[in-house]
Amino acid sequence: MQKLKDRVAIITGGAQGIGAAYARAMAAEGARVAIADILDGTSLAKEIEAAGGRAMAVQVNVADETSVLAMAEAVNEHFGRIDILVNNAAVYASLQLKPFSEIDVAEWDKVMAVNVRGPFVCAKAVVPFMRSNGYGRIVNISSGTPFKGTPNLLHYVTSKGAILALSRALAREVGGDGICVNTLAPGLVLSEGVIQNTDMREKLTGPVLASRAIKRDQTPEDLIEPLLFLASDACAFMTGETLVVDGGSVMH
């Protein structure tokens, strides 16, 4: 039996990398998937439909509330409802490791706009549709880094720490509406972007692997089942929680 049969799921940042892996997996479990990305997700939507799933691509800038509201309206109009939001879009793999004193305010603001404002305005846009159906699952993607205080990425780590607090507070506001809000916190994942960022991979892979109880690289596939759990009926009595999936680097 498909875990997400006939549910409608929005995956931000879904056109490539980990987001694309989420979109494929959710479609395979019966969800009607909206690939919401600043990039064009049309080819992925066509791939999913060719495999027998249902998908649409909608371009959106998650840092812009007007763009996000238009995206939510388009998804609801196309599929007739919104059940699941995966707040995956984030600035990360393009960042360069540097001391906090070398991070300029413009770069800080860009990270915060996408990584913190984005999940806020996306939740604000979809919750009315979820409330009207008395059902919703919001999965916010954080990171293991806030638990470690990882250096040289202060803006990113701060933004992902904010996601933990956002999820907890939002869970209390919408729990009475049948909406569960939880956080998925991956470790260092060998996504397309991380593989291409040589500096990040060379400086972080060794220490991260050494810190893990399970001594191997993490792939997007390691996140699929935990994501499906948080997006499904299986977590109906779980909200405001953080699920860390990083091979045992963080244990909390």
For the stretch 166-176, pLDDT in tens is: 999 999 999 99
In a domain, 59, yes or no: yes
Residue 71 near residue 36 (C-beta atoms within 8 A): yes
Higher pLDDT, 16 or 252: 16
- Lowest model confidence (mean pLDDT) among 157-171, 191-205, 221-235: 191-205
In a domain, 74, yes or no: yes
**pLDDT at residue 201 tops 90:** no
Residue given tokens 């045992």 in the structure block: 248
Confidence of residue 190 (pLDDT cuts 50, 70, 90): confident
Catalytic residues: 156
pLDDT of residue 193: 74
**pLDDT at residue 194 tops 80:** no
pLDDT of residue 153: 96
In a domain, 2, yes or no: no
For the stretch 99-130, pLDDT in tens is: 999 999 999 999 999 999 999 999 999 999 99
The CATH code of the domain that includes 49 is 3.40.50.720
pLDDT of residue 203: 82
Segment 197-201 mean pLDDT: 77
By the 10 Å C-beta count (0-12 exposed, 13-18 middle, 19+ buried), 38 is classed as middle
Taking all residues of the chain, what is their mean pLDDT, rounded to a whole number? 96
Confidence of residue 252 (pLDDT cuts 50, 70, 90): confident
Residue 230 near residue 242 (C-beta atoms within 8 A): no
Angle (deg, nearest 10), helices 17-28 and 224-231:
60
Residue 70, domain extent: 8-245
In a domain, 1, yes or no: no
Residue 6 near residue 209 (C-beta atoms within 8 A): no
Segment 24-29 mean pLDDT: 98
State the pTM of this model.
Answer: 0.96
When divided into structural domains, the chain yields a total of: 1
For the stretch 225-237, pLDDT in tens is: 999 999 999 999 9
Pairing of strands 32-37, 179-186: unpaired
Distances (CA, A) of 31 to 156, 184, 189, 225, 248: 30, 19, 24, 14, 30
In a domain, 21, yes or no: yes
Q: In Å, how far from its chain's centre is CA 226? A: 12
